[in-house]
Chains A and B, each alone.
Chain A
Amino acid sequence: MATTTAAIPVRSTRAYRPIWGWYGALVLLMAWGLAAWIYELKYGLAATGMRDVVSWGMYIFTFAFFIGLSAGGLIMASSAEVFGIKALKPLSRLGVLSAAACVTVAALMIIPDLGQPFRVINIFIHPNWTSPLIWDILIITVYFLFSVLDLYVLQRHAIEPSRWRKRIRVLAYVGLPTAVLLHSITAWIFGLQIARSWWNTSLMAPLFVVSAILSGTALVTLLALCAQRWGKVELSEDTRRWLRGFIIVSLFVDLFFVGADYITVLWGNVPADRSALNLVMPGGPWAWLFWVEWIVGGVIPLAFLLIPRLKKMPGALGLASVLVIIGVYAFRIELVVIGFVNPLTQYPPGNALGTYNAQTTSFEFIGRYHPTWVEYGIIIGLVALFATLVTIGYRSLHVMEPSPAGGQHHQRAAVERKAGS
């Protein structure tokens, strides 16, 4: 790769200033995450807020969240190619870079969730092919390798557009179904489970795909805006328009799916389903998820994306992106945690917790979950790892630089491609 980047002629025009402060902060956060993980290894998962009733927590919903985030870049890069959206092509390499970084972080997120992390090798020795988890590990691996390959090819294409043009197209056609599969299989980890009716809906896979596109596009938008702010790269108005469009459409579809699911549960009024939904509806103990999802991550970003006066405000797109990402994270929390909080059997005393506490009982009827500093620490460390990967990738691969064929200035590159190829 070193020879590749060296061959980019524009490199000399953009000498990156070293940003040791930024790297230092990230290294500190990653070290903090590592320390939290070592602490967890010593004391077991008892160091987390999970117990037998809510037996999956922050690691799993953040895992699902990062899998979703990884969608945007790759789907955007691939659809730019497949559907010929010229305005999004300048973001292709940034998108695929973010996809690779997200899927790496998501895969690592599983490790601290395991009770016996040093036995992961068993997954390869004794795979159980009826388990959605095995298929998910498989597709995560494929997706990771694919995004690295795609990044490499896009990188080569930036240098020699004519020679690598066709390979980009082929990869784009492979990339779209791969991304859809990744999110579907991750959704099926939950959606196929008959035990918890909160999860057991065929809507799960489409919902995951659309919320993945939503949060992923918002993430790439944010990264591109960061590049514009600190990297002195210009985003063309056309590019912004496409990003905004992607977010608006996927946000509408996402809310439509979630709303359709709510209606089904409300109208059907099946006790087990209804008791789950009541936890998140206004008035329930988890109602904050409802408000974050529908207001913070729904109505407000839509206002900033659609209402002309708000839309024109500087930072409207960035703000909407941040809010949308927060909303999708709330959706992930709602999906995973409510599935556990809602009691399986509606009879006292409920389920055993698996740990002893002299002050209270060993049973829990309605599940409770409060992540501990260990979980926050590891998650923050992994988010810092994501930032590190993206920063290093951005700076060493020059992902936002225009290709030599497209001229020196980014905006002009977009315009020329629009007019030309």
Chain B
Amino acid sequence: MAAKKTSVPPHHVMVIDTNRCVGCWTCAVACKQINNEPLGYWWNRVLTTAPNQSTTAKPPASYNIDVPSGTYPDLELAYLPVACQHCNDAPCVKVCPVQATFRRDDGTVLIDFNRCIGCRYCMAACPYGVRIFNWGDASYAPGGVIGYGKEYWTEDRLVFTPERPKGVVEKCTFCVERIDVGELPFCVEACPLGARIFGDLNDPDSQVSELVNDGGGEQLHPELGTNPNVYYLPVARRVPGES
């Protein structure tokens, strides 16, 4: 973490323990709160899956969430929280014609609200479908601005603003305004089950280093070579009674 004094600059990663996730969507709602996300925007969402299925599996039996797969009594249910994967080799960074999407040295992929021309090429290029476009004047939940509530600039770029401008792309920022002052991303803090672990991969003693290096942390779509900074711990314990 930023508070810890190391000579190496931090490399921020998030590890999500799918064993612990119960699909409550607290992270997704907390994300909406801290970032003042307008109605219909979801930077973070929780997919209903089966344990240890690849993301390119066959179409599901149901398009609704919380529906287990399999036939009774051999039912399986797991969850996969997905937000921006903050890829080290990010397709969105490669395709952005104006370098509005950029990767900071700590691994965080951010968007410059002031530079984006709204061509949405990054949305076409992202394999994870985590980008949100400001299609029109954003409508917010009643009650005024909530959450962080201020603009946030890093490397002279406007990477967060609570009042969304029309016609630009946005997405999860790893709560850059929080991690830069040594706090945790809000989804990590909000998860009631401690399924989200955040830290510095360059610090060999950090919990994330241990989980990524020895704990079997897996990336989404590793075959695409995007090398995300979000890792998932696969479901290790099977449901009792399953053959």
Contact = CB atoms under 8 A, between A and B. Distances in A.
Contact of A195 (B48, B115, B125): B125
A254 B48 CA distance: 40
Contacts of B123: 52, 55
Contacts of B121: 131, 133, 189
Contact of B167 (A114, A122, A340, A351): A114
B98 A347 contact: no
Contacts of B162: none
Nearest to B141: A356
Interface residues of A, number: 63
B136 A355 contact: yes
Contact of A346 (B42, B58, B165, B167): B58
Interface string B77-119: 0001010000000010011111110000000000000011111
B56 to A, nearest CB: 5
A125 B96 CA distance: 13
A34 interface: no
Give the size category of B's interface with A.
35 or more
B124 A55 contact: yes
A352 B130 CA distance: 8
B94 A115 contact: no
A195 B126 contact: yes
Contacts of B80: 347
A44 B125 contact: no
29 contacts: A45-B133, A52-B131, A55-B124, A115-B116, A115-B134, A115-B168, A117-B118, A119-B98, A119-B117, A120-B117, A122-B117, A123-B98, A130-B95, A132-B95, A133-B97, A193-B95, A195-B126, A270-B56, A271-B56, A275-B58, A344-B129, A345-B47, A346-B60, A347-B60, A348-B65, A349-B65, A354-B41, A354-B135, A362-B40
Interface string A353-391: 111110000110110000000000000000000000000
Contacts of A272: 56
B166 interface: yes
Nearest to A196: B124
B1 to A, nearest CB: 30
A285 to B, nearest CB: 13
B62 interface: yes
Contacts of A194: 91, 127, 224-226
B139 interface: yes
Nearest to B92: A195
B100 to A, nearest CB: 7
B190 interface: no
A9 interface: no
A43 interface: yes
B227 to A, nearest CB: 12
Interface in B120-178: 120-121, 123-129, 131-137, 139, 165-169
Given A130-B95, A352-B132, A356-B38, 19 more contacts: A46-B135, A55-B120, A55-B133, A116-B117, A122-B115, A122-B117, A126-B115, A128-B94, A128-B96, A133-B95, A133-B121, A193-B124, A194-B225, A340-B124, A348-B47, A349-B48, A355-B39, A355-B40, A356-B40
